[in-house]
Structure 1
């Protein structure tokens, strides 16, 4: 039996909000290339893993946590090639990448809120819990 702790139990995990981390294009918004550019610095800090907050396509109503497409990178942050380069360069330095996958809710973008809300079409209950208006606890 292995009694060594798993890497994440004692690892140094550095959370990065790509939007405000490092801009490499001059747009004023951070991007994936900016994260890649800082890997040597993070390695020197002793970082074991980078926790990347959402960089998926999003209307940005909820700081990227309102994901509109789980299979695409928001062009504001770069491309799939930029992400692949980040992963490869992190691996060279022994830094793991942890993605913040927002799976308990989505954007209200048309692609993800299908006929369930628009047409009240039946759908397996595990997919969406649709309400006409969200309830706020303070109300």
Structure 2
């Protein structure tokens, strides 16, 4: 939707709302006083509630221990769906959902082996879609705890990266040349021990800030 005020030289454009709580507008002001030789356009972008999280009540859910729906003793996504009315009645605005992507669970889901799938212990992609849909009906946002510092060492990227230095995926991770038993430096991992792990078939170390099964992704 657009609105143009010819006399004032103002064009306002309303863009489709991303959600019920967010609206984006673009306003262009044309400075007529400068004449035709100089067209001075000032663009003003207004985003309502763009920092909604600053005034929101956000409830973190650690899925393993929140609500079990099938009797296996492990919390899951259907269990969360079943408690949405309770969460709404608490007055929350958003759920911060700890990792639910497919994972070997070396670090409680923070070692992701497939960013495009849900770990079977928590449910299915269809369950995730239903959670998002049902939460939206109650005006509850879902904030995913997406782990991007590292992947699991069982992720296809890392399995490829270990095959050779020339592999296209090798540079997805942080590697340093060295000798076995002599790490590149004395950096320690958050979980203890050296932050470097030797890979004999490559003659290199890879960096892991956390578990040895969580090789850091290379963001350079």
**Bin for the TM-score computed over the shorter chain:** 0.7 to 0.9
Task: Using the TM superposition, give the Cα deviation of residue 118 of structure 1 relative to its aligned residue in structure 2, in angstroms.
Answer: 3.2
Answering whether residue 181 of structure 2 is matched by residue 136 of structure 1, we say no
Supply the distance in 1 between the matched residues of 2:163 and 2:131 (Cα, whole angstroms): 39
- Residues 2/106 of structure 1: CA separation in 2 closer, same or farther (3 Å cut): closer
Richer in strand (by share): 2
What SS is found at the alignment partner of 1:75? coil
Task: Using the TM superposition, give the Cα deviation of residue 5 of structure 1 relative to its aligned residue in structure 2, in angstroms.
Answer: 7.1
Task: Using the TM superposition, give the Cα deviation of residue 19 of structure 1 relative to its aligned residue in structure 2, in angstroms.
Answer: 1.0
Q: Are the aligned partners of 1:69 and 1:112 in contact in 2 as well (CA < 8 Å)?
A: no
Supply the distance in 1 between the matched residues of 2:106 and 2:71 (Cα, whole angstroms): 23
Answering whether residue 45 of structure 2 is matched by residue 45 of structure 1, we say no
Supply the distance in 2 between the matched residues of 1:2 and 1:129 (Cα, whole angstroms): 38
Report Cα offsets for 1:68-102 as digits up to 9, x if no partner: 00000011100111111111110010000000110
What SS is found at the alignment partner of 1:98? strand
Q: Are the aligned partners of 1:117 and 1:130 in contact in 2 as well (CA < 8 Å)?
A: no
Answering whether residue 100 of structure 2 is matched by residue 100 of structure 1, we say no
Structure 1 residue ranges without an equivalent (≥5): none
Q: Where does residue 56 of structure 1 map in the other structure? A: 101
Supply the distance in 2 between the matched residues of 1:95 and 1:49 (Cα, whole angstroms): 5
Q: Are the aligned partners of 1:67 and 1:102 in contact in 2 as well (CA < 8 Å)?
A: yes
Determine which structure has more spread, i.e. the larger CA radius of gyration. Answer: 2
Richer in helix (by share): 1
